[in-house]
Amino acid sequence: MTSTVGLVARFTAVGVAVLAGLAALLALAARQAGVEQATESASEVAFVTAKGVVEPRLDKALIDGDPAARAAFDRAMRQYVLAGSLVRVKLWDESGRIIYSDQAGLDGTTWELEEEELEALREQRIDSEVSDLSRPENRFEVRYGKLLEVYAGVRAPTGQRLLFEVYFRYDAVDQAGQAAWHKFAPIALGALVALQLVQIPLAWSLARRVQRQQRERERLLRHAVDASDSERRRIAGELHDGVVQQLTGITYALDAARLGKPDESQRAEVISQAAADLRTGIGQLRSLLVDIYPPNLDEEGLASALAELAAGLERTGVGVTLDVADTERLTPVTAGLLFRTAQEALRNVSAHSGASQVDIKVVEEGGMVRLVIDDDGRGFDGDLIAERAEGGHFGLRALSDLISDARGRLVIRSAPAAGTRVEAEVPVHDPGADRRRSRRRPAGVGAAPGDDR
């Protein structure tokens, strides 16, 4: 059986692995959120610059390439736009001609615009992407490393649509992603660690509970195996000492009568005694059959099954009174528990008590059904039950767990020379009985669990 520490250690290891995975996912998510926020901020800067700085300074002279107009536009770009992480600006027309760039060598050159850039120009919208520095028109930006390229559609006073393009250092975007991670990481990781620490005591408690249940299952299994062995030994002993001996005696008596050639009166006496012995043997076999394969309580009912047990005890010379209330409302599991309790109690009366009278009573009140069995036998010390249980004998003690599972109770009262009372009380109807029946057959089916109180 795995120890509690081992179970909790495995749970904690799995929790730490999950925590590490969640932390990694959280880091990626936070970084991505920071990148998206930085990109959105760059787009807003580009939009404000395009509408607030660029569009008011667009005129026909700049578009036509007038040096004075370009110089004035360049001064405005360097004064209001080119700062911080923004390192390059370009102004394009629809043909792909660069009208202006702060990199003078690009002015007047023509390059093919990509579809996204043309759409931004024609639809006068804003878009962004990581710059492709392998393109020839970006050869002057290679020295800056990775860049974020944002382009926005602008319109000249003449109505001509143009494309304003700005380039930001991508380091600023990375820093924004890292800042977002650093901002949320302590809170998120702290919450995850706290959750893990809270779960460890719960895992410890659960592991202890699982181990207790496992030990209980093993105990019940050992009881079942030991009870089955005890029952087989008891049945074998009863067959050998009872019916087998009687049949052997009848065989000897018949053989002696046959070889001795008795007269009619002797022959009649032998036959009469043999018949009596056979009837006794048949009665013992019927009692044994009830022990081996109890009656079908669904069909015959508890009253009929108890009457069969009482008849078996009466055949041993013990007087029995039977008072059974209406038991039709009992579930099969409830009836089986009561039958098995009565079976075990009467077996103990026959084997140990030396009683001459037994009273069996079944009553129902307050949603509970109670079986009471009183005998006038020699009784015993209550400590004897514990001693016999420790010695491997179970009997009614083993049934106590099953009755407790059915939300009932089993009480045994006895004292030397004062007889014994066995009282079992269970609910008339147990909503969980059918589910338990599917897991085990506690009473009324199979072998009895022992031969002691």
Q: What is the pLDDT of residue 392?
A: 37
Q: Which domain holds residue 46?
A: 4-175
Give the residue from 152, 175, 198 where a domain finishes.
175
Which residues have C-beta within 8 Å of that of residue 8, sequence separation ≥ 6? 200, 203, 204, 207
Q: Is residue 370 part of a domain?
A: yes
Q: What is the pLDDT of residue 359?
A: 93
Q: What is the pLDDT of residue 165?
A: 93
The phi-psi region of residue 167 (left if phi > 0; otherwise alpha if psi is between -120 and 50; otherwise beta) is beta
Cα 64 to Cα 61, 73, 97, 385, 413: the distances in Å are 5, 13, 11, 114, 117
Tally of domains within the chain: 2
- Distance between CA atoms of 277 and 248, rounded to whole angstroms? 11
H or E stretch at 88: strand 86-93
CATH assignment of the domain containing 371: 3.30.565.10
Q: What is the pLDDT along the chain (453 residues), one digit of tens a residue?
A: 567 677 677 767 777 777 677 767 766 666 666 667 778 888 888 899 999 999 999 999 999 889 999 999 999 999 999 888 888 999 999 999 999 999 988 999 999 989 989 999 999 999 988 888 888 888 898 988 888 889 999 999 888 999 999 998 888 677 766 666 666 667 766 777 777 677 778 777 777 787 777 777 777 667 656 656 666 776 676 676 667 777 877 787 777 776 776 677 777 777 787 787 787 777 667 666 656 656 666 667 888 888 888 888 888 888 999 988 877 777 878 888 888 888 888 888 888 788 889 999 998 888 888 999 999 888 877 655 555 444 434 456 667 777 887 788 888 888 887 888 999 998 887 544 444 444 444 333 333 333 444
116 phi and psi angles, rounded to 5 deg: -60, -40
Q: What is the pLDDT of residue 441?
A: 40
Q: Is residue 418 part of a domain?
A: yes
Q: Is residue 215 part of a domain?
A: no
Q: Is residue 135 part of a domain?
A: yes
Q: What is the pLDDT of residue 90?
A: 93
Q: Is residue 230 part of a domain?
A: no
Task: Kindly state the DSSP code that residue 110 receives in the 8-state scheme.
Answer: B
Q: Are residues 309 and 444 in the same domain?
A: yes
Give the residue from 141, 175, 209 where a domain finishes.
175
Q: What is the pLDDT of residue 326?
A: 77
Q: Which of 26, 83, 42, 28 is nearest to 173 (CA)?
A: 42
Q: What is the pLDDT of residue 433?
A: 42
Q: Are residues 302 and 171 in the same domain?
A: no
Q: Is residue 187 part of a domain?
A: no
Q: Would you list the DSSP string of 117-147?
A: HHHHHHHT-EEEEE--TTSGGGGGGGGG-SE
Q: Are residues 310 and 450 in the same domain?
A: yes
- 312-335 in b/e form (b: 16+ CB < 10 A) is bbebeebebebebeebeebbbbbb
CATH assignment of the domain containing 93: 3.30.450.20
Task: Kindly state the DSSP code that residue 452 receives in the 8-state scheme.
Answer: -
Cα 292 to Cα 46, 305, 314, 442: the distances in Å are 93, 14, 19, 14
Half-sphere exposure of 102 (CA within 13 A, CB side): 18
Q: Is residue 373 part of a domain?
A: yes
- 222-232 in b/e form (b: 16+ CB < 10 A) is ebbebbeebbe
Q: Is residue 136 part of a domain?
A: yes
Give the residue from 175, 210, 244 where a domain finishes.
175
Bridge-based pairing of strands 368-375 and 147-155 is: unpaired
